[in-house]
Structure formats: structure tokens, C-alpha cells
Chain A
């Protein structure tokens, strides 16, 4: 449960921050379905709706597929809608997500990233949210609990803009943000109202003006038209987001861009990441900088629309760039690497070397040592080398641990024995 009055700095989890974002946005309708690690969001909202702190209708649906459909239908009718999901839930609702994006209706959904089954897991990586990459939904990836809250408010401004009219998904990492408390500045209701006016979209379904929405299109040219309109609306969202972010800075004092740079000014080597693990990269960069390495970070905040110009401008002239993907497309490698590489391939200036790493799958830590490895690879690489695959950030210690567990799984006579340093050791 979360505190009652906005407008103060307080300790909030990412989930509580998301709920506060929805509350301050004065959402009117919340269709919900529980899934770990998102459930706290809807529990907070349900309590506020039941207690009268939030004048919204809260409805528990029968699945994410139904939930997203209901969210889209309510948004199409004219309500300000909020919902949240995670992982398997996002994939279960994926068909509906494409559908409501195709309706071109504004709603905001928080996705709490969690690795996808099978094997089923609870900790985060970004394959869930990237499975929604081409749905037409705008994607904002948050690094901190503060950013989760602020992004929800920003998201409504973008989604509801007549130039855009698309759903926005705000993404945060399960556990690392969802269940982690950190100080968050909660805007006052007045600040929120100044930034985001009351919902005022003209109701679309009404007796006096019947219309057919989401109708079938049985012709390639028509389908191309409507699908490409979604693309143009996404492109328009880049500027709309910039405008909203400028307003937000004026009112709340925090500035968000499509990408975020950390110690990039004189950086020769740049790491590219998204989500909360970027915080680990910052710490590593500080250490490596203290050792004299000119390293920086480019954090991708907006994944859709893809901020190609900002990416090219930030990376084109570097000596080396490494994309660390917290996702894996089996048979290809890291997904965002492909997008960064495609952007740089078309830009006038390209970095000397470009490398792909995959790390943090299923919430596995990326340690300072692993960041150091990435930077060492970049520093040593020359541009004559080509066609490197994605390297997995996975240490010998990780391997030892996996091996011992595999032994336990495969051989009944294996026993785990406590070793001297307190860690388990496996003996056959």
C-alpha cells in the first residue's frame, strides 16, 4: 500500500510509482488482471478506487486478452484508461494489443518486464516487451521508479495527442524496479493537473452519431494506408513527446528525452542499454572512468518510435559502440543491436567498431567484471574484424553454478554439500 498525499519525496517501489502515475493522471477506467510482478499496481489502484481516493472504475477481467480489449474499447468510447501487465500476460493479450493499436485509441499500459516461459521464471528481461515491438504501441522504458511515475504522466500526453492516438506502454523491470523502493518525488495534484488536463476526449460511441470502428479492410492498398498511418503517427510522437517533456520539465523540473546520455561528451567507447540495468552500467562507467577509460552510456528510453536521429547523433563518431541487449532472439542474437546497427549503417558517420552483447537474461546480474569485459573487447577490437555474433555475458562462476544444478537435476545420487565458504557444492 502506498501513502496518501502526493507532492512529497518518499520511498516508493516501481509498482507504487506506476499506481501513483495513474492516480495523478486521474484515470477513469482500470481493467485489470493479476500477474507477478505487476500485481501490486492493480492492488494499489483497487484500494484507491474502493476507498474513494481515485474516482475510477476498476474491473477485474478474465484474462489479459479480455483486459486489453476492454481497455481499448473503453478508450475508444472516450474514457482515460490505465492498465498493467507483465510477461506471459502481455503475450496472452498480444492479439488484443495489436487490435487496440489498430483502432488508434489512446490508453496507457505499464508492463513489468519478466522473462518468458518456458522455462517459466519471475525475474526480468525484455523479450516480453520486445514481442510487442511491432504492435503499433509506443514504448517508453524506465530506469528508475521516478521515471516510471513521470513516464505514465508523459505517456497520456503523447497517447491522447490528436497527431498520435496510439496506446503507450511504459516498461519497467520486474523486481529491480517493481519491488524496489527508492526515493520518488510525487508531483502534487496541481502539478499533475497543470501538465495533464482532465480527460476531455469527445466520446466516440454515442447515440447521436453512430460509427463503425475497427472495420475489416479486404484490400492491400487500404490496409497499407491504415497501417502506414500508424507509422506516421508513431513518427509524429517523437515531436509530441519532446513538447510534453519540455512542459513537464517546466512544471516538475525533470527532463526526459527519447534517449539519455551519461558521461558521453568525450567518450570514445559507448555502451547502449535500456531499462534498470543501465543503472549498473553507470556505476561501472564511473569505475572505468576513474581508471582513465573514456567510456559513456547511451540509454534507450523510447524504443518505439525509434529515435534514429538521436541514436545516430550520439554514436556515429565514437571509436567503439557495444549494445548490451537484455533479450535474446534465438538464432539472431540481441534485438536492439540490430536496430542500432541498422541506424548506424544508414548514417554518414559510423563508429569504428560495433559489438553485440546479451546479458541479464532472466534477471541474471551484469557485474562490474562483465562491463569491464565489454569495454576491453571494444578497446581491443579493430574495424577489420566483422560479423561478430552476440556474446553472452555469462561468467565462469555462473557456469559452475549452472553445472552443479544440472548435476542435481540429472543424477539422483548427487548431493549438495555445504562447502567451507558457505556456498553449496555438489558432489557425485
Chain B
């Protein structure tokens, strides 16, 4: 079940303009890059992208940049503060008449899940708390991808990373639960927060467009299929992202002034296993022997989530 789209209804209405030129050094099939490209399409130009260290830092490697927008690389832990400086300075310059209003920019932070949930969490929290008028895109590939896929606070329980290997002592690989970014955001009372999927570009663009009408922090996190880190063929990126939606492990939702609404509710969720089996980072759950307890726990977490959604958002049958 999909909610009604407001601003764009099908792929044919996707804006044609590309703010992201081809030629970046990012991996073939990068889900984060696709999320960024779609978000920039929705924003329609006049953007300054403020980047935290991560895969996307390699978008602009001297002397080349694929972005036709402005770009500022900051540090891994302070990109939201970089956005604060630019936003405030633009406001000051426009107010003083030093910069014509038509020269204004939308400020977009571009950060991975490690920069978002680990090292940069306090900077991000501060920016939201200050009510900064900005966009935040977290491309969540569920690990520190740029350094070779080490565990981050977004690595899901049961996934294998370079620093949470699956061994007899820790059969599940990653033992911790993924931090819930959406709820962390919601606890800060931003005007807008949403999850995004590259498997639903229409929903993605629709959400970003909806957010443009609001002032303050507009926060997005996109599940970013990472072929080298996840151990999947680049060509299967869409399929995997779609399975994340249909198994319910990556819910599509938004919160406007705190009120949560799911924009896609899978009517009959597919077993989580179908999603897990597409990626080598979960292979240890099936071979050499099947880890029933881990799989059960993972499925249960998804089921519990949707039971809760059912209670709150869906009409009784």
C-alpha cells in the first residue's frame, strides 16, 4: 500500500536536469550516489553540498568534480556545523545587501551512516536543535564503507563487516542493534524527517519536494546498497533495495512535525531471508550451517516493528 503522491506521480515526471554529472570515481552501482542524484533532482539546483568524510568525499577529487553545484568538504564529524556557517553567512550577506537574494542557496549536508550516527552525531544533533534551515542526506550503507566496510552504529545485527567478522565466538558477526536514526531525529522535533529508498524514486522525490515547503531541519536517510561492502552484484542494486522494502526491514516513512506516516506498507511482507540471501555480508547466517536463532531474532525485530505500525497507523480490519 502506497500513500498518495503529492508532487510527482511516476518516473516520467522525474526532473530531467542533472546536477550530478557522470564521471565520479564512486563504485559502479553505488546506491548512495543514486540517492544523492535523485535528491538533487528534487531540489532543482542552487545547492551547496556540505560533505562529511566518507565515500562521497571522493566525488570531488582535484581537479574533477561531477557536481554542478557548490561543494564544501569539512571533516568527518562537523559537516552540519559547516552547513550552519554557510546558511548563517548567506542570511547575513543577503540581509546586509552584500548578496542578492537570487544568489541564495539551499544547504545540503551529505554524510554516511558513520559520520551521522557515530562521529558526527553531536554536530548533527546541535544543528537540528538550533533549528538550522538545511537538508541532511544520510546515505546509509550500514558500515564505514570508504575505509573498507568496518562496523558502524548503523551495521545491523547479524551482518558481517571487516571489524565484526563472523567467528565461532561471535557467530552473528555484528552483535549490536542498528541505532534508530529516524527516532533519534524525531526526538529533536524537526519539522521534517523521512526514510528514502532508491527502489522508490518517486517517493524519494515526492518527500524532498514536500520538505522544501518547510523551514528548519529537513532530514533524510536513504538505504544505500553498497555492492563491494554488501557483497552483491552492482546490477542487483534495485532488486536488493526493493527487497528491503518488501521484507519490511527498511520502512518508508516520514514525520512531519513529529507525526509519523508510512508511505509504503507492504501488505504481505516477504520473509527477511529473501533479502539477506542476496548479500555476502549475511552469508554466514546460512553457511556452513544455518543460524536459526540469529535469523529468528532478525525476523522477529521486523515483525515487532510492523505490529506496532499496525496498531498505530492502520485501520482495524
Contact = CB atoms under 8 A, between A and B. Distances in A.
Interface size class of B (residues with CB under 8 A): 35 or more
Contacts of A55: 96
Nearest to B74: A69
B85 A71 contact: yes
A67 B74 CA distance: 12
Interface in A198-219: 199-200, 203, 205-208, 210-219
A72 B93 CA distance: 15
Contacts of B61: 215-218
B48 A205 contact: yes
Contacts of B103: 203, 206-208
B84 A66 contact: yes
B101 to A, nearest CB: 10
A261 interface: no
Interface stretch (A74-82, A116-124, A397-405): A74-82
A117 to B, nearest CB: 20
A99 interface: yes
Interface stretch (B63-71, B242-250, B254-262, B282-290): B63-71
B52 to A, nearest CB: 10
Interface string B76-120: 011111111110111111001011001111000000000000000
A222 to B, nearest CB: 6
Given A79-B89, A203-B98, A218-B61, A62 B81 contact: yes
Interface in B121-177: 122-123, 125-127, 129-130
Contacts of B278: none
A268 interface: no
Could you say which of B79, B85, B86, B122 has the most chain A C-beta atoms within 10 Å of its C-beta?
B85
A99 B48 contact: no
A187 to B, nearest CB: 23
A63 B84 contact: no
Contact of A216 (B48, B60, B93): B60
A217 B62 contact: yes
Nearest to A204: B70
Interface in A413-428: none
A73 B82 contact: yes
Contact of A70 (B46, B81, B96): B81
B295 interface: no
B302 interface: no
Contact of A205 (B68, B78, B80, B90): B90
A5 B60 CA distance: 48
Nearest to B48: A205
Contacts of B127: 62
A28 interface: yes
A74 B89 contact: yes
24 contacts: A55-B96, A56-B92, A57-B91, A60-B130, A61-B81, A62-B122, A66-B78, A69-B74, A71-B85, A73-B50, A73-B85, A73-B89, A76-B85, A76-B86, A78-B99, A79-B88, A96-B74, A103-B72, A205-B105, A212-B71, A213-B71, A214-B72, A214-B73, A215-B71
Given A28-B96, A69-B123, 6 more contacts: A70-B81, A71-B85, A72-B82, A73-B86, A77-B85, A78-B93
A-B complex: 8 closest residue pairs judged by Cβ atoms: A73-B85, A62-B126, A66-B81, A77-B89, A70-B85, A74-B85, A74-B89, A212-B71
